[in-house]
Structures are given as C-alpha cells and as structure tokens.
Structure 1
C-alpha cells in the first residue's frame, strides 16, 4: 500500500509550488497538496490568518482525504503549520521535510521581521515592496535567485488580503517554534538553497534544536530550492523517504 505525502506551500504561493514533486513522487506515493487560508481560490478575500485556523485547516484536510498518516513536506512559512501539527498529532506524521525553514532565533532574518512589524501601518503596497526586497536581498549586482524571489513575492503578495503577511510576521516573532522543534521525534530533513543566506541566518543552532536532523543544501538555488532545482530536490527527498521506509521495515 502506498504511503502518503502532503505538500504545504509558503506565503504568497499556491499548491502548484509542488507540481513537479507531485508528478515525480506520484508513482510510489499518494501525493496531496492544498492552498493555505487566504491563498489559491481565496486569494484576496478577508481571512482570519491565525495559527489555530491554519492547523484546523490541515486537520480538516487529513479528514477530508481520509489520511491516517502522512509524510509532510513544507516550504518556508509552511514549517510553522507542519511542526505544530506534528507535535499535536505525532502518530499522523511519519516524517517532516522543511524547505527554506526558519525559526525564532536571534538572526538577521528576525531583525528584518521586527523592522517590518514596526512599519506595518504603512500603505500596504509600499510596505510590501520594501519588505519583499529586504527578505530576498541581493548578494551581488547579478543575483538571479533574489531577483526572481522578491519579484514573485511582491507580485502575488499584492493579491493577498493586507493582513496575511503581517499576521505571518507576528506569528514568527511571537510563537516559540524553536521549542516545538525540540520536541520532534520523527525523521526530519531540512533543505536550504545555498544562496538563501538570510533565512539560513536563523539556523545557527539547528543541530542542537533537532539533534537527529538531516541538513542538506542545494547548490545554485535560492529560498524555494525545490522550484529552483527540482531534480536535485527530488533526489534528496527520495533518498530520505526511502531511508524512512527501510527503517520502518527493519522495526
């Protein structure tokens, strides 16, 4: 019987962020994805973008699809949803994969979050333009990874309800995800693009937080490493999943 994988996209994205992964893994797994609150078909509509509602949405998705358990792979902010869910429903989560994941440690990334939380009363389009630029800073004059990332983030961020990205900053500043990560017992794969320096700044104590974590970097990739280098990501995730299945058979 096939095992299940649930893919969770990041802010401003949609479930299509994992199209290539779903096509690749569909032969060996049942693959699923969904749109976070305020995204997809609900893009731009008023939404109570709370962690409680996001966890309830994932719970409802498991119930709707009849999933007893699944491997969960999440992109960026999606790590908050998957981690909280995994601690609440440990027996439903077989493994976790984080792409561009981050958590509340003193870092350049969280300095940016704090700065734009303080500026949240600015006109939204102005605020978003500056915010998009600063969370994907250029490493050099020619930096395709940051250019692509901040243009996409700004374009689709404009289509969201004004509160979504600001609420997400609040969650990251005030919710202790680091504490939740220390409680994880299932296998964890953490993947970052090698050019994703700002987000990597929050991971200086990752191996202390999750001693059993498998950490990998994908070369020539930015924040959404699975989209910049899908084949490389697929290879890493496939190896991880195969090891999970092997360990299960050995028990």
Structure 2
C-alpha cells in the first residue's frame, strides 16, 4: 500500500491517471473509497490523488489530532509527491481541510471545489445536528441516532445508502471510539478571517436539503473567498456529488476546463 509519513503518522494514498494533479479529500469518518465514481471518471483526464486522512481508512489512527493536523498532512502529501500546483475537491470535512490548504499554500491550489462546506464551527456538524434534534433522539444509541438523523442529512436516502454500502466494501470503517476522536478534531475551527487569502478560482456547492451544513453555510464561505462562485443543488442534501452525480460531474468538469 502506498503510504507517506507526516510528523510520525503513516498515511495511505492512491495515485492514478495522467494529467493535471487533482486531489480529492473525503468527509468525516469516510475514506478514499467514497470517491470511487469520481476517480473512474476524472482519471481519464487528470492525475487523481486520494488519501485517507489520519484517523481514517488505512491510515494510522492516533488517539488525538486536530483539523490543523489534517491540513499539515495534506501539505506533507504535496511535498511527498513533489506537486507544485493542483486542482482540489473537498467534501464536508475534506472541504475544511481544503480551505486550510488553500489558505496556507495559495500558490499551489489553482482551482478549488468546496462541497457541503462551512468555514467555522464550535463542534462537528453531526454534533450540531444531534443537538438541534435532541428531544427526538433522546435515549437512542449512536447507530439509531445516525439512522434517524439521516432524514435531515440527505434528500435521496436510497441513492446515498447504496453509495455508503459501496464505500464500506472498499474501505476500512471506524469503530465508535475512532469516530468520536475524528469528530472532536473538528471542534472550534474558524477560517473566516483568512478566506480572503485564497487565490484559487473557487466553486462552492451546497445541497438545498442539507441539514448538516445548510446552504447558508456554503453561501457565507463563498462570499468570503474572493470572486468565488456559489451553487445550490435543488435535489441534494449533504452529498451533492452522490445525490445528483451527473450534474456534479458536468459542472466540475466545466469549471476545471
């Protein structure tokens, strides 16, 4: 398995295709396998690079880490692969990491796509969602909470369910303890004052029915990034790339080209 070391942590990545480097960053508790469809399509035109963030997938799982650790890991990957300029897509947690990378390495991120994003948060979006619906979730275990809360997360739950099943077949899943550690890493971040430093051409995509990171979060992020474009997918929740895949691929391909 291809790995690299970032400050003592071994991280897994995959590198396929030929062309402009395109880095894909996955969401909380997921892994590189969530991009199985995007990888197959984009590798025909781009050099597609996916990685498992620390605490996820095939990468090492420390007992404590932060969002800044994720950002520094991504910088370490660029250095490991000797990449001077990339296109970048980040989904949910991956979009927070992408913001941090584009802020710290503005000259290396040429085009940036932020999906289901926000630019600040006192706690993880899932924790915020659980808090908003605390009364109806009272007494449920974490698995039942997730199942019940999915109605507030996604518009097309059948499609998302198939995608989650496929991702689970091809990537290591986290234990409940590992999920909790991963969630805590996203507490208390705020990029709002630094988003003006991003020089990448930026596209922000939100799903109208996203109860985790509602469209107003994405719109706020787009406003704070110079000349960014904001799009709201009408029939999507927290996974626009999955719930409206053809629209997503078409728009992103057009944006890159």
* TM-score normalised over the length of structure 1: 0.74
Aligned twin of 1:175: 189
Which residue is equivalent to 2:51? 34
State the alpha-carbon separation in 2 of the partners of residues 102 and 168 from structure 1: 17
CA distance in 1, matches of 2:197, 2:126: 22
- Matching residue within 31, 38, 42 for 1:25: 42
C-alpha displacement at 1:35, in angstroms?
0.8
Matches within 5 A, 1:35-54: 35-42=52-59, 45-54=61-70
Supply the distance in 2 between the matched residues of 1:189 and 1:71 (Cα, whole angstroms).
11
User: What CA distance in whole angstroms lies between the structure 2 residues aligned with 1:171 and 1:178?
Assistant: 18
CA deviations on 1:174-204 (whole Å, 9 max, x unpaired) are: 1112223233221111112232244124345
Q: Which structure shows the bigger proportion of residues in helix conformation?
A: 1
Return closer, same or farther for 1:46/1:86 CA change in 2, 3 Å cut-off. Answer: same
Deviates further, 62-71 or 192-201: 192-201
Instruction: Give 1:76 deviation, angstroms.
Output: 0.3
**Structure 2 residue 128 is the aligned partner of structure 1 residue 112:** yes
Work out whether 1:2 is the aligned partner of 2:19. Answer: yes
In structure 2, the partner of 1:188 is 202
Count of residue pairs brought into register by the alignment: 228
Rate the CA distance shift 1:241–1:229 in 2: closer, same or farther, 3 A.
Answer: same
Q: Which of these residues, 211, 214, 224, is aligned with residue 209 of structure 1? A: 224
- Residue 25 of structure 1: how far off its partner (Å): 1.9
Residue 55 of structure 1 pairs with residue 55 of structure 2: no
- Of 225, 234, 237, the residue aligned with 1:219 is 234
Structure 1 pair 168–183 and aligned structure 2 pair: CA distance change class (3 A): farther
Q: Which residue of 2 aligns with 1:79?
A: 95
3-state SS, counterpart of residue 11 of structure 1:
coil
Gaps of 5+ in 1: 243-251
Which residue number corresponds to residue 11 of structure 2?
Answer: none
Secondary structure of 2:58's match?
A: helix
CA contact (8 A) 1:194 1:222 kept: yes
Cα pair 1:17 1:227 within 8 Å, conserved: no
Larger % of strand: which? 2
User: How has the CA–CA distance of structure 1 residues 129 and 104 changed in structure 2, closer, same or farther, with 3 Å as cutoff?
Assistant: farther
